[in-house]
């Protein structure tokens, strides 16, 4: 159950309205990485979540993002105000001025309607937490770019407030993922094929205006992967020996989501991968 209090989470003040900046700010209202996207992604993951602790966290943060939507909306309305009366300002975003009357609506800075295609909701808790960490990183960088494009002090401060909260949330989601106790690259319940999972395929090669081959070698090494060249160029190619998926071969957590597509049998037992599927 939701409740609204007639007070902004952060009080917004600006100096001179800057309609084109208000237009830019719409990225954080109705844009792909904006506050509604965050609110919806976390809240709906929360609706679906089977683990009470992480459900609580998702609802806490999802609801805070709704409050941010209201704050950034108030900030934008202040900047858009000249669109109501000034033709030049109106040209900055005719959708806002002509169709929207100079107020906020769920569009981004170029007038694309907000779409749930922006959201990443898989119903697998660990996967969703990965998506949320990335979402917070994106929201942070977008706020920073907006800060860099304005000189208005009140606007800068409001954006600094909102930007800071994204890092807080990024830390919370990271802790939520790590305290699940899963190995770093453990996703779901079926382990990847041994051997093949360690092969890095070198699929962009040569030397030219777009770079040269081998530049990624140190990263490949850091990932403990082995570089394999394409058959196309005399390499041996990836190991494509057929391998059969082994149910419950991946290490899982007690709080993992119910796997999808399996006979219902309660939570999968937590076991070590034992299958020797290929030599």
Cβ 269 to its own copies shortest distance, Å: 16
User: Is the Cβ of residue 172 or residue 253 nearer to its own copies in the bound state?
Assistant: 172
For its own copies, which is the closer residue by CB, 104 or 253?
Answer: 104
Nearer to its own copies, 107 or 253 (CB): 107
Task: Spell out the residues 6+ positions from residue 200 whose beta carbon is closer than 8 angstroms to its own.
Answer: 220, 223, 225, 226, 227, 228
Per the CB < 8 A criterion, the answer to whether 164 and 222 are in contact is: no
In angstroms, what CA-CA distances link 159 with 114, 165, 177, 223, 227? 21, 10, 27, 36, 44
For tokens 């208000």, the residue is 22
Q: State which residue, 184 or 254, has the beta carbon closest to its own copies.
A: 184
Tell me how far, at minimum, the Cβ of 257 lies from its own copies, in Å: 7
CA distance 208 to 132: 37
**Residue whose entry in the numeric block shows the structure tokens 């106790």:** 181
Residues 6+ apart with CB under 8 A from 153: 15
Euclidean distance between CA atoms 95 and 242, whole angstroms: 54
Give me the least distance between CB of 195 and its own copies, in Å please.
Answer: 9
Supply the minimum distance, in Å, between the C-beta of residue 235 and its own copies.
11
Rounded least distance, CB 77 to its own copies, Å: 7
Minimum Å gap between C-beta 137 and its own copies is 4
Distance between CA atoms of 39 and 88, rounded to whole angstroms?
34
Cα separation, 104 vs 191, whole angstroms: 47
Q: Which residues does 69 contact at the CB level (< 8 Å), separation at least 6?
A: 29, 34, 35, 36, 39
Closest to its own copies by CB, 167 or 270: 167
């Amino acid at each position: 159950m939701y409740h609204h209090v007639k007070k902004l989470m952060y009080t917004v003040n600006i100096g001179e309205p800057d309609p084109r900046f208000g237009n830019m700010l719409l990225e954080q209202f109705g844009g792909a990485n904006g506050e509604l996207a965050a609110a919806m992604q976390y809240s709906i993951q929360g609706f679906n979540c089977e683990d009470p602790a992480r459900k609580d966290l998702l609802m806490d943060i999802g609801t805070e993002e709704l409050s941010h939507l209201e704050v950034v909306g108030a900030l934008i309305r202040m900047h858009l105000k000249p669109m109501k009366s000034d033709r030049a300002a109106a040209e900055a975003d005719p959708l806002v001025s002509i169709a929207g009357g100079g107020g906020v609506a769920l569009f981004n800075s170029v007038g694309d309607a907000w779409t749930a295609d922006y959201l990443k909701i898989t119903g697998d808790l660990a996967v969703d937490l990965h998506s949320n960490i990335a979402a917070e990183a994106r929201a942070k960088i977008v706020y920073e770019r907006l800060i860099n494009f304005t000189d208005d002090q009140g606007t800068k401060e409001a954006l600094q407030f909102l930007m800071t909260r994204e890092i807080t949330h990024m830390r919370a989601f990271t802790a939520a993922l790590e305290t699940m106790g899963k190995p770093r690259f453990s996703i779901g319940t079926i382990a990847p094929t041994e051997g093949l999972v360690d092969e890095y395929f070198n699929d962009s090669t040569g030397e030219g205006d777009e770079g040269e081959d081998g530049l990624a070698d140190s990263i490949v090494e850091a990932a403990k992967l082995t570089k394999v060249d394409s058959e196309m160029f005399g390499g041996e190619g990836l190991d494509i020996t057929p391998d059969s998926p082994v149910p419950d071969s991946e290490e899982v957590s007690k709080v993992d989501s119910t796997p999808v597509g399996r006979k219902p049998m309660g939570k999968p037992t937590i076991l070590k991968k034992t299958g020797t599927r290929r030599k």
